[in-house]
Structure 1
Amino acid sequence: MMPFSGPTPLPLQKPRALLLTRVDDRLSFLYLDRCAIHQSDNGTVAVIEVEDGSRSTQIPVATLTSLMLGPGTSITQQAAAHMAAAGCAATFVGGSAVRSYGAFLSPYAPADRLQRQALVSTDPDLRAEAARRMYLKRFPGTTSATFADASIEQMRGIEGLRMRAVYEQQARKHRLRAWRRNTGTQPELGPPDSVNMALNAANSALYGIVNSVVLSLGLSPGLGIIHSGNRQSFTLDIADLYKTRVTVPLAFSLKDHGDPFNAALRTLREELRLLRLLPQIVNDIDMVLGIDVADDWSVDALELWGPAGEVEATWSHAEWSL
């Protein structure tokens, strides 16, 4: 076997909680395609080939929520490990960022929210209460008494009528007489128009951002409340809270834009910063799961379960075996 002659791998240390930027204080997302990402002595770098050679750009992974990797990207093991240690999610997306194929994130996340999510998603009564809170969030100004006697099916129908009304309102506002939603997954409908293209790009970016927050909080994207049966069910649940406020108006405003895909991503990134949506996502997740106050967490938290309660797992319990 030939000896390894490449550069010496950079050492990666387990981060302390105080050194990790809180998810609600981070930047939203960065979309990259057709580049190579590697780890240098100065941090994570994206290298782009240009006519006269190559150009490199630093990626602020320590303060970034999600790095969206599009077609033509490659990433080294060291860069991926550094991103995971810094708590920056890498989301792998398809052409025009319409589809999300997967993601990875830091393993340093607490399990308290995940346990609560598992309980809510499997208890019919708690799940119905969480779904009711989500529907109320979509109707500003309403109270719990509004849907007190409504079934989940009735609330789902009301939500469908609301979404149809929002699309029709935006179409009238921007003077679009004939318009229909096209996700780009049905070729018989023809190529998507500028509104559909912008909406697909903006929604895909929104899914990536919400998915990154979900993973950052140690939650499972697949344990949904309203949605079920998909590995992104909970991500879709939370993302739906913001579409009529963020992505739908943005897409219709770009109906005459020559490059609606890139314009949607640029504008969405700026709007997320102005709206401070990341802290809102964290608060809304706690609201949906019925968590009043988010407790502080430690990357070293580990306990052993027992019927009498949980105990620390960092020392021997041999004396209790007799």
Structure 2
Amino acid sequence: MEQFSPSDMKTILHSKRANMYYLEYCRVMQKDGRVLYLTEAKKENQYYNIPIANTTVLLLGTGTSITQAAMRMLSQAGVLVGFCGGGGTPLHMASEIEWLTPQSEYRPTEYLHGWLQFWFDDDKRLAAAKCFQNARIDFLDKIWNKDKDLKSEGFTTQDSMLLKAFETFHQRTEDAKKQSDLLLTEAQLTKVLYKFAANTMKIEDFTRQHQSTDIANDFLNHGNYLAYGLAASCLWVLGIPHGFAVMHGKTRRGALVFDLADLIKDAIVLPWAFVCAAENATEQEFRQQILQKFTDHKAMDFMFDTVKTIALQDYSSAQIEEQNL
């Protein structure tokens, strides 16, 4: 068979790539110039191809291993690899997925330069954080009013409880004087969204528990980590280190990944976690649904556009004052 090199692949922009993979109980390897994963059946071993040129993130769960040759090809294709616990979430919920980012320094510099122009100034960083928060709510409003499947399940931003919560959110975001004010406002809105989703899907006595074993919390955890994978991939492509967060604290490792993932979590992950929980879906069915919705609503494109806009916009004193009017 003719050998195939990653340099021969047609380049697909990360924002347009369609695939994320979660694998368990298998071995990832390079064979005949391609990346495959091997599963052990009773009678024979089975090989499956991973289309690395069209893949953003590879999550390796319980019982997996990967060869050095496969990692080399994944790196050349710009695929982020993460080791995680079963079901796409860490075994210990307090820990983070360790992202193995491809070591290419031939990435754009303009976005990092733009980011650094505002990041060391408290007022400018706060203005950027407000941009993140407003973009997040705008995306939620767009998706919940556009997605026919969600609308058929009863998810709408025109609910009186949500309209009041959104009005409060926008006012408090505008009035915020520091990041902690924004985080408190965010937490209050998310609590309202959880209550609305639980009531809509008739899930009683729901409480958000990161270490809980109930199905709704499990799906929220799982979906959030898929969003973290997209966020980490976006930041790697644009050349912005994960430590330059605007919301989640300057000393928290990987915090910018959380900032960016928040853009899509409420709009896509949250409602579908409750819908799939109410339908008693399997973990695989939920994962397929979330990945399909990421693709349908161009979640990666939205992340890229938002980060680029925030990195390159004007953060002069006059501009910040105009945004706060």
Same fold? TM cut 0.5: yes
**8 Å CA contact 1:86, 1:106 repeated in 2:** no
- Partner secondary structure for residue 253 of structure 2: coil
* CA separation of 1:230 and 1:245: change in aligned 2, threshold 3 A: same
Q: In 2 relative to 1, CA 175–256 (structure 1 residues): closer, same or farther, beyond 3 Å?
A: closer
2:129 matches 1:131: yes
Cα distance per residue 1:186-227 (max 9 Å; x no partner)? xxxxx5211011111111111112111211222211211111
Find the counterpart in structure 2 of residue 298 from structure 1.
Answer: none
**Match in the other structure for 1:79:** 70
CA change 1:118–1:72 in 2 (3 A) is farther
Cα distance in 1 for residues equivalent to 2:69 and 2:305: 33
Alignment pair present for 1:48 and 2:39: yes
Task: Name the amino acid aligned to 2:110.
Answer: D
Q: How does 1:1-322 map to 2 (within 5 A)?
A: 15=7, 19-99=10-90, 100-107=97-104, 108-140=106-138, 146=171, 147-152=173-178, 153-184=180-211, 191-228=212-249, 229-291=251-313
Shifted more, 88-97 versus 245-254: the winner is 88-97
How far apart are the structure 1 equivalents of 2:174 and 2:220? 33
The structure-2 alpha-carbon separation of the partners of 1:202 and 1:126, relative to structure 1 and needing over 3 Å to count, comes to same
Change (3 A) 1:217 1:230: same
Shift of the 28–230 alpha-carbon distance from structure 1 to 2, 3 Å rule, reads: farther
Counterparts of 1:169 and 1:206, CA distance in 2 = 22
Contact 1:37 1:74 (8 Å CA) reproduced:
yes
What is the distance in 2 between the residues matched to 1:149 and 1:254? 37
Check the 8 A contact 2:57/2:79 in 1, yes or no. yes
Shifted more, 147-156 versus 65-74: the winner is 147-156
Q: Give the structure-2-normalised TM-score.
A: 0.77
Write the distance in 2 (CA, Å) between the matches of 1:257 and 1:103.
35
* Partners of 2:58 and 2:81 within 8 A in 1: yes
Three-state SS of the structure 2 residue aligned to 1:205 is helix
How many Å separate the matches in 2 of 1:38 and 1:92? 15
Equivalents in 2 of 1:19, 1:11: separation in Å? 12
SS in 2 for 1:38: strand
Kindly indicate whether the alpha-carbon contact (under 8 Å) linking 2:183 and 2:247 is maintained by their aligned counterparts in 1. no
Deviation at 1:149, TM superposition (A): 3.9
CA offset digits 1:243-289 (Å, max 9, x no partner): 11111101100224445422221111111111111111100111232
In structure 2, what is the Cα distance between the partners aligned to 1:181 and 1:46? 35
SS at 2:35's partner residue? strand
Separation (CA, whole Å) in 2 of partners of 1:238 and 1:247: 14
Q: Contact conserved, 1:64 with 1:88, CA < 8 A, in 2?
A: yes
Would you say how many aligned residue pairs link Structure 1 and Structure 2? 275
Specify every segment of 5 or more residues in structure 2 that has no aligned partner in the other structure, as ranges.
Answer: 91-96, 142-165, 315-325
Aligned partner letter, 2:130: R
Residue identity over aligned pairs, in percent, reads: 23
Q: Is the 8 A contact 2:20 2:55 kept in 1?
A: yes
Distance 1:221 1:155 in 2: 20
Question: Helix, strand or coil: the match of 1:68?
Answer: strand
Distance (Å, rounded) in 2 between the aligned partners of 1:75 and 1:267: 27
Question: What is the deviation of 1:236?
Answer: 0.2
Counterpart-to-counterpart distance in 2, 1:290 and 1:162: 28
Preserved contact between residue 214 and residue 221 of structure 1 (Cα < 8 Å):
yes
Q: CA deviation at 1:239?
A: 0.7
**In structure 2, what is the Cα distance between the partners aligned to 1:129 and 1:73?**
43
| Structure 1 residues 119 and 260, CA gap change in structure 2 (3 angstroms) | farther
Does the C-alpha gap of structure 1 residues 276 and 66 become closer, same or farther in structure 2, counting only changes over 3 Å? Answer: same
Q: Describe the SS at the equivalent of 1:132.
A: helix
* 8 A Cα contact 1:20 1:87, kept in partner: no
CA distance in 2 between counterparts of 1:104 and 1:117 reads 20
Q: Which amino acid aligns with 2:267?
A: R
Larger Rg: 1
Give 1:230 shift.
2.1
